[in-house]
Amino acid sequence: MSPASWKAALCLLLLVGCRSGQETETESRGSSSVVSRPDAGKPATGDWLISHSLSDPEQLNPLTSNDASASELLQYIFQSLLTRDPRSLELKPLIAVARPAISVDRRRYTFTIRRDAHFQDGTPLSGEDVLFSIKAIKCPLVNAPFLRVYFDSVVDARLLDEFTIQFSIKEPYFLNESVLGGIDVLPRHYYDPGNLLKDVTLADLRKPADQLSAAIKKFADDFNKNFSRNPMGSGPYKFQSWKTGREIELMRDEKYWGYGKAGVDQPYLDRYKYRIINNLDAALVTLKSGGLDEMNLNPVQHKRGTGSERFKSEFQKYDYFAPNFSYIGWNNEHPIFRDKRVRKAMTYFTNRKQMVRTILFGLGEVVEGPIYFFRPEYDKSLRSYDYDPKKGLELLQQAGWSDSDGDGILDNVVDGRKVPFRFEIKVNAGNTTRKSVALVLQDELKKHGIAATVRELDWTIFLADVKVRKFDAILLGWAMSVNEPDAYQVWHSSQAANKGSNHISFKNARADRILEQYRREFDERKRIELYREFQQILSDEQPYTFLFVGKSVSAVQRRIRGVEVLPGGLRSIDWWVPPPAQKYGQRLTAN
Amino acid sequence: MASYALKRLLLMIPTFIGVTLIGFLIMRLAPGDPAELRAAGGLGGASGAGVSLEKRGAVDEAVAQWRAQYGLDRPVQVQYALWLKNLFTLNFGESFKDNQSVWNKIVERVPVTVKLNLLSLMVVYLVAIPLGMYSATHPNSLGDQVTTLAAFVLFAVPLVWAATMAIVFICGGDFYYLFPPAGLASLDYAEDWPLWRKFKDQAWHVFLPVLLMSYDGFAGLSRYMRASMLEVLSQDFVQVARAKGLEERLVIFKHVLRNSLIPQVTMLASILPGLLGGSVIIETIFSIPGLGQLGYESVLARDYPTVMALFTVSAVLTLIGILISDLLLSVVDPRIAFGRRLQ
Amino acid sequence: MSSTPLNTAQPASGNAAAVENAPPTGEGLWASVWKQFKRKPVALAGFYLVCFLAFMAVFGDFLANDKPYYLSYKGKSYFPVFRGYLVDARLAQWPAELLNVEYKKLDGATAIFPPIPYRPTNIDLFAPYETPSKDHWFGTDKLGRDIMAGMIHGARISLSIGFVAVGIAVVIGVILGAIAGYFGSWVDLVISRLFEVMLAIPTFFLLITVAAIFPPSIFLTMAIIGSTSWVGIARFTRNEFLRIRNLDYVTSAIALGVPDRTVMFKHILPNALAPVIVSVVLGIAGAILVESALSFLGIGVPAELVTWGSILHEASGATFAWWLAVFPGAAIFITVLSYYLVGEGLREVLDPRLRGLR
C-alpha cells in the first residue's frame, strides 16, 4: 500500500471519487443501483478504459504532487512494500516478501524484499531503491512537506543486505507498519542517475538547510524540476503520454514482473486513458456518445440526466461511500458555544436527514461521529440527534436563553454581560453543498430567534482564519482514508494550540488520555473499545455537529466486467472486457 | 510621422509601468497566500471533501521554504523590480500551480483565443457593415426600423443569459442537442481525418461560441456604421458627386464608403485588448482552453506569475492597439492635428 | 467581443457654432428635452419600464414578503410588514405573541399576504426545483427559494449597484475630465496618460481578480465597477471642456477674473453635461450587465444574497431547471433594454439640440 494510494483515498476531489485498494468490512450498503457481485467468466486482456478527469494533474512526480488527479494515476505506476487486501483491508506484502519483522520494543521494522520484481525499464528492484526512496522523502529540500511529516519518527534506515532493509523508529505507534509499508518504491537509477545520495544517511538529512551538502542540494533541485511529466516505477502500467488539457495515457506493461504471481493484482486492460474535460455537462454528453467508458456523476446528473432507458441499457451505475464527512465546527471557546447544551441544541436544529435528501439528492448518510462508518471502530450504537427544534429550544432555555427585550432575538447573560444570540458561519467559496447547509441552518435558526450570518470566503483566506481560530462556526469537511483511524491530530487538546488540526479547541481530559493510549495499543480489539468510549464522549459533548458522509456515483459502460463496489470504492485494476465485446481491441502498441 | 510615432512610443512606457504596477499591487496586496494554498493541496479541498486528515500540522517550515524559493518573502518593491528585470528576457517565471513556464502556458493558448476573436471579428464586420450601409441608404424605411430595433434588442441581451439559455436548451440536456456544450473539437478528433471532416467538426464546435461573442458587435457596429455613413452622406462633396451625374452606386461605394469606414478601421485596433477579458465568460461556459479561462483559473489559484503575465500581455496589446489606431487615423485623415493644443 | 456601452458610445457634441446659440443653463433646456423625448414612443416606453423597475426596487418588501400586510389574530389586528420595518429600525418591538411566529401556520388567524408570500431567502427543503406552478409562479431553486421573490428583490440590488457604480464613475470621470480639458497642456498630458492606463488594464479581468480574492460584498462590487468605468465619461467631459473653454463667454469670464473653480463648475459644466447624461444612463445598464456577469461566475456576491446573476449561476449547474435560466435573464434583459432605449432617446434629443435644428 503506498502513500500514493493513500492520497487517492483522500478524495480531495469528491467528484473524481475514490479509487483505492483499501477497504473495511464486506458489508455493502449500496442502493438498488449497486451491483456487488463480481462477474463470472475468465478475465482476458485487451481493450481500453477511457475515464474522465476534471482537470490536469498538477504534475506526476510521485513525491511532490499533491492532488487527487495525480494520485489516481500514480497508483498504477508505483508500488509499495505492503498493500491492503481490497476486501479485508489487512496489510499484505507486495514488494516485500512478507510483513515486516518488528522488534520487541516496536522500534525496528525489518522488511525482506522480493527478488523477482523489476522496474518498467527492466532494471531489477532491490533494497537500494527502497533506501533511496526513504532518503528522497526525508530530504528537506524535496518539495514534499506533507509526505515528509508522516515519516518524522523514522530516524534511520539501513540495508542489512541487498534485499533487506531495516527502519528505526523514534516511538512505538501502531500505524508505523502501514506508514513504512506505504513507501512508494522509486527506481534509484532513474530518479538519481548520478547517485548523489549514495553516502547520505538519514541523520545527514536532519541537518538545517544551509548545512546540507552540495550533492543533496543538486539532487533535490533536479528531483523537483525534472520529473513532473515522466514517472517510472515498477507497477503494472507505464506512463505513456500527457497532452495537456486533453488526455493522459497509461499503457499496460507487457513485461510486468507480477504476471501470474500469487497475491499480486493482475492487470487486464491494455490502456488507461484519462480524458480531461473540465465541464461536467460536457463530460456527460461525451459519456453518452461513447467518448468515455466511465465517469463520476454529480448528484444532479445522477438524479436527472441518467435515467433514460437508453442510458440504463448502456451503462451501469454504482454508488459507494467515500471516506469523508462534513461537519459544522462550533468554536468551543466562543462565549455562546462554550456551553455544550447550546451545541447540542444546534444539532437538534439541523435537519440533517432532509439535507441529505434535498442538498445531496440522497447521495449520503447522516453520521454521528468522526470515524468512517465502515470501519469496525465506528460505534453504531451512538445516539442519533434527529431534527427536533422543540428539544433544541428546551436546551437553550435550560442554558438561560430567552428573548428578554422583545427584539426577536434570543439573549442571555454570559460572563456578566448581556449577549444576543448572533454569530457568523464561515464557509469557503467553491463548495455549493456546504454553502447550502449553512443557508438552510441560517433560515431555520431565524425562526427560533437566532440571528446567524453566512460569510463566504475564498479558500485560502478561509483556511487562514480557521488556522488562527478566527471564527464562530465553520462548515468544513475531513477527507480520510479507509485505513485505521487516528483521531489524535484532530481531537487532542495539544493540537488546539499552534494552528494544529483541533480547530475548534476541543479540550477534554478523558478524551486526551484515550487518544494517547490508543496510539500505543497494538491489539485491534482493545483499540476498538477505546474508541467506543471516545465516540460516546464526542456524542455527549457535540463539539461538532456531525453532518454526513458523502456518496459517489459512477457510471460504467456495461461491456466492462469485474466491477465491484468495495469498501474503498471502485478498483479499475480488476476490470476486464471479454474479447467479443472489446471496443478498442488488442492494440497494445501506441498509435 | 516617424517622430510622432516615436513620441507616442515613449509616452507608452509610463502607461505600461502604471498598468503592470497596478496589477502587481493588487495581486500582492490581496489576501490569500499561494503558499498556503499549495500546502492545503490546491483548490481541490475547497470544492471537494474538505481538508485532508493526512496533512499534519507542522508544514509551516515547508511553506516558508516554498515562499523563499519564489521570492515571496522579499519586500514588494524588490519583487516588482525583479519581475520587471525578468521581463526583458521574456521570462515570466513558472506557474505556481504546476511549475510550467508561464510563457509556454500562454503561448499554448494564444492560438485558441486569437482564432475565436478573429472569427468573431470577421463575422461582425461581414454582417454589421452591410447592415449599417443598408440602414444609412434607406433611412427610416421598414428595413431600417427593424434593424434598429433588432440592434437594440441584441445589445440588451446579456451574454450570461444567452450563453446559459444556449447550454440549457440546445446543447444536450433536457431539450435539444444541436451543438456541443464544450470544447473546440470532438474528443476523437484526429489529425488524419480528411480536411472537410476536420473543418466541419471545428465549425460545429466553434459556431455557438463565436455567435455569442459576436452578437453585440452586430448591434453596435451596424449602428455606428449607419451613423457614420449618414454623417458622410450629408456632406457637401456627396452632393457635388451626385450633381456631377455620377451613378448613385458609384457615389456610395467609391466615395461615401471609404470615408465612413475610417472610424470603423480605428475601432478595429481597439479589439486587441478585448482578447483577454471578453472571452472569459464564453471560455468558462464552453470549457474552451483559451486565455480568458487561463486568467480566471489563475486568479482563483493565486497563480501570481500567470496573472501578472496575462495582465502585461493585455496591456501591451492595448497600447499597441491604441497606437495603431492613432497612427491610422492620422494617416487616413490628415485634417486631424496632433500635438497642437487649442490656443 | 464585448464592449461596455460607456466606451463605445458616441460623443453627442457637434458643431461649435450651434452650441453658442443654446442657453447656458436652465430649465428651458430640460423642459424642452422632456417635450421632445415624449414624442418618441419607443424611448417613452423604455422610460416607463424604468419607472416600473424602480417601483419594484423600492416597494419590493411590499410585493414579496413572508409577513402579511394585515393580520387578525385572537381578536387583535396587526400590520406585520410595517411593524417589521419599525423593529429593524429599533423603533418598536414585536409583541410577545408575534415573536418569530410562522404567519402561514397560525391557527384561527385571517391574514392578507402580499401577492408573493415569500422572501427570496425563505428556504423550503421540501420543495426544491419546483417547476412554475400556482404556489410558485416562477418555480423554486435548489433550496426551495421562490424565484419570483428573487426577481423582485433582485431588482433592488441590481438597480442600486447600477446607480452607485455609475455615480462613482461620474464623480471621478467628470472631475478628471474637467481638469484635463480646462487646463490643457501638461495637466492634460498627464491625465490623458492616466486614461490610457485605465484603458490598457484588462477591466473585466481586473474585476474578476478583485472580486474573487477579496471577501465578497455588494459595496466592493459597486466600487470596483465604478472605478474601472469612468474613462468614457472623463473623455467626453474633457472633449466638451476643450471645446467650450474657447467660447467667448468663458474667455470673458476668465478675463474678468472669475476663479477657475467657478468657471469650471458653474459656467462650463452645465453645458458639457449632455454627453455625460447619456453615458450615465447607458452606464447603469452596463454596470448591471457586469454585475450579472460577476455573480454568474460565482464571485462578488455574498452568500446570503440572491441576485439575478446568482440565479443564472445556479441555472448553469442544473440545466433541467429551465425556469432558473429564463426568468432572471429576461429580467436583466428588460432592465438593460429599457435603459438603452431611454439613453438612445436622450441622445437623439440632445444631439440635434446641440447641433442646431436639422
Cα B309 from Cα B315, distance rounded (Å): 10
Which residues in chain A have their CB less than 8 angstroms from residue B173's CB?
281, 305
Q: Kindly report, residue by residue over B157-212, the tens digit of the pLDDT.
A: 988 899 888 888 887 666 777 887 777 777 666 677 888 888 888 888 888 888 98
Chains contacting C (3+ CB pairs below 8 angstroms): A, B
Q: Do C142 and A359 touch (CB under 8 A)?
A: yes
Contact call for residues A7 and A22 (beta carbons, < 8 A)? no
Q: How far is B274 from chain A (nearest CA, A)?
A: 24
Contact call for residues A463 and A316 (beta carbons, < 8 A)? no
Q: Kindly report, residue by residue over A470-502, the tens digit of the pLDDT.
A: 999 999 988 888 888 888 888 999 888 767 788
Non-local CB neighbours of A47 within 8 Å, separated by 6+ positions? A269, A270, A559, A576, A577, A582, A583, A584, A585, A586
How much is the pTM? Answer: 0.82
pLDDT at A72 over 90: no
Q: Best of B26, B27, B161, B284 to disrupt the C interface by mutation (most C CBs within 10 Å)? A: B161
* B280 → closest Cβ in C199, C208, C245: C208
> What are the cell numbers at C53?
423597475
Which residues in chain B have their CB less than 8 angstroms from residue C5's CB?
155
Q: Do B161 and C325 touch (CB under 8 A)?
A: yes
Closest by CA position to B184, among listed A277, A305, C205: A277
Q: Quick one: closest CA in C to B228, which residue?
A: C10
pLDDT at C138 over 70: yes
Residue with cell 446607480: C163
Q: How far is A323 from chain B (nearest CA, A)?
A: 9
**E strand map for A331-377:** 364-366
Q: How far is A27 from chain B (nearest CA, A)?
A: 23
The number of angstroms, rounded, from the C-alpha of B297 to the middle of its chain's C-alpha atoms is 16
Q: Do C90 and A407 touch (CB under 8 A)?
A: yes
Q: Quick one: closest CA in A to B95, which residue?
A: A58
Contact call for residues C158 and C307 (beta carbons, < 8 A)? yes
Q: Best of C196, C220, C295 to disrupt the B interface by mutation (most B CBs within 10 Å)? A: C196
Long-range contacts, A385-388 (Cβ 8 Å, 24+):
A385/A344, A385/A347, A385/A348, A385/A542, A386/A353, A387/A348, A387/A349, A387/A350, A387/A351, A387/A352, A387/A353, A387/A354, A388/A348
Contact call for residues A556 and A315 (beta carbons, < 8 A)? yes
Cα A377 from Cα A484, distance rounded (Å): 8
Which residues in chain C have their CB less than 8 angstroms from residue B161's CB?
292, 312, 325, 328-330, 332-333
Which residues in chain C have their CB less than 8 angstroms from residue A396's CB?
none
Cα B6 from Cα B338, distance rounded (Å): 13
Contact call for residues A6 and A69 (beta carbons, < 8 A)? no
Chains contacting B (3+ CB pairs below 8 angstroms): A, C
| B-C Cβ pairs (cutoff 8 Å, strict) | 182
Q: Do B56 and A489 touch (CB under 8 A)?
A: yes
Q: Quick one: closest CA in B to A149, which residue?
A: B56
Q: Quick one: closest CA in A to B35, which residue?
A: A460
Q: Kindly report, residue by residue over A205-247, the tens digit of the pLDDT.
A: 888 878 888 899 999 989 988 898 999 999 999 999 998 878 8
Which residues in chain B have their CB less than 8 angstroms from residue A481's CB?
53-54
> Residue B76 burial by CB count (10 A; 0-12/13-18/19+): exposed, middle or buried?
exposed
Q: Do B31 and C292 touch (CB under 8 A)?
A: no
Cα B272 from Cα A172, distance rounded (Å): 65
pLDDT-based confidence at A28, cuts 50/70/90? very low
Cα A59 from Cα C296, distance rounded (Å): 31
Q: How far is C323 from chain A (nearest CA, A)?
A: 16
Which residues in chain C have their CB less than 8 angstroms from residue A444's CB?
123
Q: Concatenated DSSP letters for A467-525? A: HTT--SEEEEEEE--SS---THHHH-GGGGSTT-S-TT----HHHHHHHHHHHT---HH
pLDDT-based confidence at A26, cuts 50/70/90? very low
Q: What is the pLDDT of residue B270?
A: 63
Q: Do C312 and B22 touch (CB under 8 A)?
A: no
Q: Kindly report, residue by residue over A380-429, the tens digit of the pLDDT.
A: 888 889 999 999 999 999 999 988 877 788 999 988 899 999 999 999 88
Q: Do C303 and A435 touch (CB under 8 A)?
A: yes
Cα A272 from Cα A572, distance rounded (Å): 9
Non-local CB neighbours of A315 within 8 Å, separated by 6+ positions? A287, A306, A555, A556, A557, A558
Long-range contacts, B200-205 (Cβ 8 Å, 24+):
B204/B179, B204/B180, B205/B179, B205/B180
Q: Do B318 and C322 touch (CB under 8 A)?
A: no
Q: How far is C126 from chain B (nearest CA, A)?
A: 23
Residue with cell 517550515: B61
Average pLDDT over chain B reads 76
Chains contacting A (3+ CB pairs below 8 angstroms): B, C
Q: Do B50 and A245 touch (CB under 8 A)?
A: no
Q: What is the pLDDT of residue C12?
A: 42
* A279 → closest Cβ in B45, B65, B182: B182
**How far is it between the farthest Cα atoms of chain B?**
89
Q: Do B173 and C320 touch (CB under 8 A)?
A: yes
pLDDT at C358 over 60: no
> What are the cell numbers at C333?
434583459
pLDDT at C297 over 70: yes
Q: Kindly report, residue by residue over A98-123, the tens digit of the pLDDT.
A: 999 999 999 999 999 999 999 999 99
Q: Best of C91, C94, C100, C146 to disrupt the A interface by mutation (most A CBs within 10 Å)? A: C100
Residue with cell 449599417: B132
| Stronger pLDDT, B266 or C100, i.e. the higher one | C100
* B172 → closest Cβ in A15, A56, A285: A285
Closest by CA position to A317, among listed A552, A6, A9, A13: A552
Contact call for residues B212 and B162 (beta carbons, < 8 A)? yes
> Residue A193 burial by CB count (10 A; 0-12/13-18/19+): exposed, middle or buried?
exposed
Q: Do B217 and C209 touch (CB under 8 A)?
A: no
Q: Do A284 and B172 touch (CB under 8 A)?
A: yes
Q: Do A476 and B51 touch (CB under 8 A)?
A: yes
Q: Do A460 and B48 touch (CB under 8 A)?
A: no
Q: Do A458 and C90 touch (CB under 8 A)?
A: no
Q: Do B45 and A12 touch (CB under 8 A)?
A: yes
Q: What is the pLDDT of residue C54?
A: 92
Q: Kindly report, residue by residue over B278-311, the tens digit of the pLDDT.
A: 678 888 888 788 888 888 888 877 787 888 888 8
Helix (H, G, I), strand (E, B) or coil at B74: coil
Q: What is the pLDDT of residue C209?
A: 80
Q: What is the pLDDT of residue B46?
A: 63
* B50 → closest Cβ in A66, A245, A476: A476
Interchain contact C102–A (C-beta under 8 A): yes
Closest by CA position to C9, among listed C202, C278, C225: C278
Which residues in chain C have their CB less than 8 angstroms from residue B287's CB?
none
Q: Kindly report, residue by residue over C20-56, the tens digit of the pLDDT.
A: 455 555 556 677 778 877 888 888 888 999 999 999 9
Range ranked top by mean pLDDT from A498-502, B223-227, C16-20, C118-122: C118-122
CB neighbour burial string for A501-521, b if at least 16 within 10 angstroms, e if fewer: bbbbbbbbeebbebbeebbeb
Which residues in chain C have their CB less than 8 angstroms from residue B155's CB?
5, 340
Non-local CB neighbours of B249 within 8 Å, separated by 6+ positions? none
Q: Kindly report, residue by residue over C157-171, the tens digit of the pLDDT.
A: 999 999 999 999 999
In this prediction, residues C323-336 reach a mean pLDDT of: 92
Average pLDDT over chain C reads 81
Which residues in chain B have their CB less than 8 angstroms from residue A430's CB?
43, 46-47, 300
Which residues in chain C have their CB less than 8 angstroms from residue B224's CB?
8, 10
ipTM of this complex prediction, to 2 decimal places: 0.80
In this prediction, residues C168-197 reach a mean pLDDT of: 87
Q: How many CB atoms lie within 10 A of CB A173?
A: 16
| A-C Cβ pairs (cutoff 8 Å, strict) | 81
Cα A373 from Cα B26, distance rounded (Å): 45
Q: Quick one: closest CA in C to B11, which residue?
A: C193
Q: Which residues share a beta bridge with C76?
A: C73
pLDDT at C93 over 80: no
Interchain contact C100–A (C-beta under 8 A): yes
Cα C67 from Cα C199, distance rounded (Å): 48
Helix (H, G, I), strand (E, B) or coil at A452: strand
